[in-house]
Amino acid sequence: MAAGDSGGLGGYDFRYLPQKTFQCLSTPETTSRLRQWSMLGRIQAQAFGFDQNFQAHRKDDFVMAFFKDPNVIANLKLLSDSSGQWITLGTEVKKIEAINIPCTQISMSFFNRLYSEDIVRDSGHIVKCFDSFCDPFLISDELRKVLLVEDSEKYAIFSQPDREEFLFCLFKHLCLGGALCQYEDVLNPYLETTKLLYKDLVSVRKIPQTKKIQITSSVFKVTAYGSVGMCYPSTKSHEQTFSYFIVDPIRRHVHVLYHCYGVGEMS
């Protein structure tokens, strides 16, 4: 994916939408789970509106315009590597990378293969295995093995296109958690939280002729660079530090899902 620069920003203006709340991250049950997974206070969802038609083939211009907009600069949150506190961007973005993330799945049956392939028992309990490491993650069950170990026996139950799907990405991020993650013994908390997050972030419509549900959102995994290197979502690269932009071209909203891997809850 080619990185964008500051030329040809397409005339987008953005506005922060603080009234948009993401219930998926604030219910007592989800809060408890995120604390257990060492993600509470380190994961954030924000909403912004924009004023022009979104064109997927010009996503680089869209993302660069986003980072240049004063309303974004003043309100987009990230965690400071130095202080560990929530801050706003405060850095001029010189270059961006926006990777297309497929978003086509409309059913959690996508994960049924975890049962049929004996990764998870019929009771919902995740099958354990001998401890091993896939740096920096401890692998103590078959679920994390399927997620991380490419030469494991059942890694192929999810194809590469499956693994690129936004639904799978969310599920994997929640399963791996933060730096002090306490893993679940059963699958359901991961599935429930993934479903809530997906439904809150992704927009759909029903096609009148067929009555089928169609996803209308476009999803990108976004990284931004300043004059001295990567500045967003962090200055330190990690698989569990990420920012996804979920663009609703009909409502003209962009949802930003952010997480920074690290130790401790941030207020």
pTM of the model: 0.93
Query: The tokens of 257 are what?
Result: 């899902």
* pLDDT tens digit sequence for 4-34: 443 344 689 999 999 999 989 999 999 999 9
The answer on 123 and 94 residing in a single domain is no
The answer on 158 and 219 residing in a single domain is no
* pLDDT tens digit sequence for 91-129: 899 999 999 999 999 999 999 999 999 999 999 999 999
pLDDT of residue 4: 42
Query: The tokens of 242 are what?
Result: 């990420």
Residues of the chain with pLDDT under 70: 1-10, 264-267
Residue 209 lies in a domain: yes
Residue 236 lies in a domain: yes
Distance (Å, rounded) from C-alpha 129 to C-alpha 122?
A: 17
- Which alpha helices (DSSP H) does the chain contain, by range? 28-36, 59-68, 70-75, 113-116, 142-148, 160-164, 166-176, 188-201
Residue 138 lies in a domain: yes
Mean pLDDT computed over every residue of the chain: 93
The answer on 208 and 92 residing in a single domain is yes
Residue 189 lies in a domain: no
The answer on 167 and 235 residing in a single domain is no
Strand 95-101 vs strand 218-226: parallel, antiparallel, or unpaired?
Answer: antiparallel
pLDDT of residue 1: 38
- Spatial neighbors of 53 by CB under 8 A, at least 6 apart, are 249
The answer on 122 and 76 residing in a single domain is no
Residue 151 lies in a domain: yes
The answer on 126 and 63 residing in a single domain is no
The answer on 143 and 73 residing in a single domain is no
pLDDT of residue 264: 62
The answer on 93 and 215 residing in a single domain is yes
pLDDT of residue 263: 72
Residue that finishes a domain, picked among 120, 154, 183: 183
pLDDT of residue 8: 41
Q: Which domain holds residue 142?
A: 108-183
Distance (Å, rounded) from C-alpha 158 to C-alpha 113?
A: 9
The answer on 174 and 221 residing in a single domain is no
Domain count, the chain: 2
